[in-house]
Amino acid sequence: MKNILKITIALVFLIVLSSCWGDKSKPNYQYMPDMYKSVGYETYSENPNYSNGMTTQLPAEGTIARGNVPYEYTDTNEGYETAKLELKNPLEISEANLENGEKMYNIYCLSCHGKSGAGDGVLVEREKFLGVPNYKDRDITEGSIYHVIMHGRNLMGSHASQLTTKERWQVTMYVQQLRTELLK
Amino acid sequence: MSSHYEAPIRRPLIVGDKSYHDITLEVAAPVEGKANKLWWTAFTIALIAFLWGLGAIIYTIGTGIGVWGLNKTVGWAWDITNFVWWVGIGHAGTLISAVLLLFRQKWRMGINRSAEAMTIFSVVQAGLFPVIHMGRVWNAHFVLPIPNQFGTLWTNFNSPLLWDVFAISTYLSVSLVFWWTGLLPDFAMLRDRAVRPFQKKIYSLLSFGWTGRAKDWQRFEEVSLVLAGLATPLVLSVHTIVSFDFATSVIPGWHTTIFPPYFVAGAVFSGFAMVNTLLIIMRKVSNLEAYITKQHIELMNIVIMITGSIVGCAYITELFIAWYSGVEYEQYAFLNRATGPYWWAYLLMMSCNVLSPQFMWFKKLRTSIMFSFFISIVVNIGMWFERFVIIVTSLHRDYLPSSWTMFSPTFVDIGIYVGTIGFFFVLFLLYARTFPVIAQAEVKSILKSSGEAYKRYRDAGGKNPAPTKVVKVSTTTEEVKDTAVQKNDLLGSLGVFDNSTQKADDLKLISGVGPKLEKTLNTIGIYSFDQVSKMTEKEYDLLDSLLESFKGRAKRDDWAGQAKNLKNNG
């Protein structure tokens, strides 16, 4: 009888311990996953119903979502030049706009352009790649800054998917402020 | 005992000239003998019903509650009806063993063991329904307040459904302990009688090493009394809590304050009816008519009559209050019961529950075993319909006429109910063959005060303690009269025993036949159970005329019936 008790205790102990040795490279076991898996389509999930296997599909070309204004300057040198001349920042220069612009700049631009915009970001310092210009060396306007964020230029890619229209103008405002600092 | 006074008006609770040993023998007989064909037939039928019900339960859980006849309006119907019905049936057992113990009712001793078994088996059936009627059975453990990883998410203690969990589980466990404690001396008796090692081992385990010392008995009595004291409030509160499932709601027809006592009365009513049904069969098939006497049946019928009348009063009260309240919803609820689409259920409930117990006022009816059996079944049908009527008629027509609907059960609803009945009988039949179905230790304690022989002796002016056997065994050797004609007559109808081809049975196994009498029977030419089992009125008379003493004993002890059993079991 005493042996049976000891064996039982040992077994219980082993079973409890064994829960610590799960396969960490796999998701763990689930008990009755009634509503764990989504019945509806989750945005980034795989989806065999579409030819490209993704739930997220591109909107039909030429459609305009409510609240959005299409950007009309093309991703060409002509488009760049026109934007540089014509495009104006719709936002008022304010503390709040500059503050958020700085926040966004520090997230999306800092690693290449550097904290002051002198083209001395950490990736440049580590020589991952070269050729990031100093803002003061380039003749840029708010229109051209916005255009480049929107479409990208040379080595730089488009940041349109990371930033909303408002954020892009706030970053533009902040870049202009950095340039003024650099030009002093 | 020597200064014992018992009113002569009291009728004996143990009939026949029983000794302590007779009690032991007769209680142990079904356990020690083999099951006969009748038992196997009943068991097979019950098992099939149980398996069918199990299939229906698995189908429900696997497929969903939608396989039942429930709808959006009537979310409770057969499930909770059956639940309350089974819980109600379970109440009689505890009532018999606890409440009657507190009231020192000696007649409970013949029936309490089986009544408690009935309690336990029916609470098991009841316990199924709260689980299987859940939409997600596998999360049933969330009804328990267990610390967990959901930031110790707990239960809400405001729901009577949670109180049900505590009520039913406490009730089952207390009943089980109470029952088992009472079983210890009886298991010990079986252990001490067991011949085969396996049985001996099993009953030694079950009897927990009971040796029956004075100290053990003293504590045993104290424990029984304390448990009876605890079980009594429990039995009242459990069905009260079950009634709260309805009484605390806002549904017209449910929201009443009368439900708690009314449900308890109904539970006792239906429970006693079920005890009656089972014991009337059991006393016959297990040859326990000496312990479950007509008086027991009559007393249970009286309880049925009283509680049935309480239930009747409650019906009238409900109707009066509905009229008196001036609440049109309440009035409509009762109008709908009487004249709505379920009028037949209401009529069945009314006629079964209000009328049938009133027959018990007539002594001729309440002492008739056939009639009691019939009424006990009628009562349980009526009480099933009572729960059905309360639940379904209140739900299917309530505040918004736009949500009025009907309910009809599917075969799964019915299958599960039939399954629980099957399961109940599977358990009860197994119990009847493995457990001492009469609390022999308790019955022995009333033998000298309520045994028939002792009563007769006392009434005749004899002083207590009475002799062990009232019918004196003649000390002279039994002389068989040499009346060859009668002997031939007797053997002619019983069949001649041929020593060369047949084996003589041990006639001493027949209660009432000792070694001396066996010899006497042998000299007549009676050797086998087969011969004895053929005895009828005529043969008894012939035997009487052959015997000097023992006159009338063969018939009184029903030798033929005993021999028939021994023949089948051997």
How far is the C-alpha of B281 from the C-alpha of B443, rounded, in Å? Answer: 20
Chain A residues with CB under 8 Å of B139 CB are 32
8-state DSSP, A156? B
> In angstroms, what separates the C-alpha of B211 from chain A's closest C-alpha?
22
**What is the distance in angstroms between the Cα of B202 and the nearest Cα belonging to chain A?**
16
Asked if omega into B436 is within 30° of 0 (cis), the reply is: no
Contact A148, A158 (CB under 8 A): no
Q: Which residue on chain A is closest to B138 by alpha carbon?
A: A32
Residue of B nearest to A35 (CA): B136
Give the minimum alpha-carbon distance from B139 to chain A in angstroms, rounded to a whole number. 9
Structure token digits, residue B202: 């099993």
What's the gap in Å between the CA of A14 and the closest CA on chain B? 22
| Torsion B293-B299-B302-B307 (CA) sign | negative
Select the residue from A32, A35, A36 to test the B interface by mutation, using most B Cβ atoms within 10 A. Answer: A32
- DSSP, collapsed to helix, strand or coil, labels residue B151 as coil
Q: Which residues of A touch B138 (CB under 8 A)?
A: 31-32
Asked whether the beta carbons of A170 and A97 are under 8 A apart, the reply is yes
Q: Closest residue of A to B137, CA-based?
A: A32
Chain B hits for A34, Cβ within 8 Å: 136
Is B139's Cβ below 8 Å from some Cβ in A?
yes
- Contacts of residue B141 in chain A, CB cutoff 8 Å? none
* DSSP letter, residue B393: I
Q: Which residues of B touch A36 (CB under 8 A)?
A: none
CB contacts of B150 in chain A (<8 Å) are none
Which residues of chain A does B136 touch, with a Cβ-Cβ cutoff of 8 Å? Answer: 32, 34
Among residues B393, B396, B264, the alpha carbon closest in space to that of B322 is found at: B393
Chain B contacts in chain A segment 9-38 (CB below 8 A)? 31-32, 34
Give the residue on B whose Cα is nearest the Cα of A31. B138
- pLDDT tens digits for chain B (570 residues)? 445 677 888 888 888 888 888 888 888 888 888 888 999 999 999 999 999 999 999 999 999 999 999 999 999 999 999 999 999 999 988 888 889 999 988 899 889 899 999 999 999 999 999 999 999 999 999 999 999 889 889 999 999 999 999 999 999 999 999 999 999 999 999 999 888 889 899 999 999 989 989 999 999 999 999 999 999 999 899 999 999 999 999 999 999 999 999 999 999 999 999 999 999 999 888 888 889 989 999 999 999 999 999 999 999 999 999 999 989 999 999 999 999 999 999 999 999 999 999 999 999 988 899 999 999 999 999 999 999 999 999 999 989 999 999 999 999 999 999 999 999 999 999 999 999 999 988 898 888 888 888 877 777 776 655 555 545 444 444 455 556 777 777 777 777 777 777 777 777 778 777 777 788 778 777 888 888 888 887 778 777 777 766 667 777 777 887 888 787 765
Please list every residue in chain A whose beta carbon sits closer than 8 Å to the beta carbon of residue B142. Answer: none
CA distance B176 to B417: 23
Q: What is the pLDDT of residues A20-56, one digit of tens each?
A: 777 788 888 888 998 999 999 999 999 999 999 999 9
Q: pLDDT averaged over chain A?
A: 90
CA distance B138 to chain A (A): 8
Q: Give yes or no for residue A74 having a pLDDT over 80.
A: yes
User: Which pLDDT score, from 0 to 100, does residue B472 have?
Assistant: 47
In single-letter form, the type of residue at position B475 comes to T
The predicted structure's pLDDT at residue B463: 62
B116: amino acid identity, one letter = E
A32 interaction partners in chain B (CB closer than 8 Å): 136, 138-139
Greatest extent of chain A over all pairs of C-alpha atoms, in Å: 94
Phi and psi, residue A54, nearest 5°? -120, 145
Distance from CA of A19 to the nearest CA of B (A): 15
Smallest CA–CA distance, residue A72 to chain B, in Å, is 52
Determine contact, residues B98/B235, Cβ cutoff 8 Å.
Answer: yes
Q: Which chain B residue's Cα is nearest to A34?
A: B136
**pLDDT tens digits for range A156-182:** 999 999 999 999 999 999 999 999 999
Model pLDDT for residues B230-281, shown as the tens digit of each residue: 999 998 999 999 999 999 999 999 999 999 999 999 999 999 999 999 999 9
- Closest-CA residue of A relative to B139 is A32
Task: Specify whether the CB–CB gap between B285 and B565 falls below 8 A.
Answer: no
For A16-80, give the DSSP string.
HHHTT---TTSPPP-S--TTSS-SSPPTTSB-TTSTTSBS--PPPTT---TT-----S-SSHHHH
Contacts of A31 in chain B (CB under 8 A): 138
pLDDT at A107: 94
Q: What's the pLDDT at B468?
A: 54
Task: Considering only CA atoms, give the Rg of chain B.
Answer: 27
> Nearest CA to A136 among A149, A120, A158, A125?
A120
Q: Which residues are bridge partners to B14 per DSSP?
A: B451
Residues on chain A touching B209 (C-beta within 8 angstroms): none
CA–CA separation, B473 and B448 (whole Å)? 19
**Cβ-based neighbour number of residue A111 at 10 Å:** 14
How far is the C-alpha of B273 from the C-alpha of B122, rounded, in Å?
A: 13
Chain B residue nearest residue A32, CA to CA: B138
- How far apart are the CA of A29 and the nearest CA of chain B, in angstroms? 16
Whole-model pTM: value is 0.79
Distance from CA of A55 to the nearest CA of B (A): 31
The answer to whether B252 and B5 have CB atoms below 8 angstroms apart is: no
Measured in angstroms, the CA of B281 and the nearest CA of chain A are apart by 42
What was the pLDDT predicted at B252? 92
Contacts across the A-B interface (CB distance below 8 Å): 5
Burial (CB < 10 A; 0-12, 13-18, 19+), residue B505, is buried
Chain B segment 72-111 residues within 8 A of A by beta carbon are none
Rama region for A68: left / alpha / beta (φ>0; ψ in -120 to 50; rest):
beta
Residue of A nearest to B135 (CA): A34
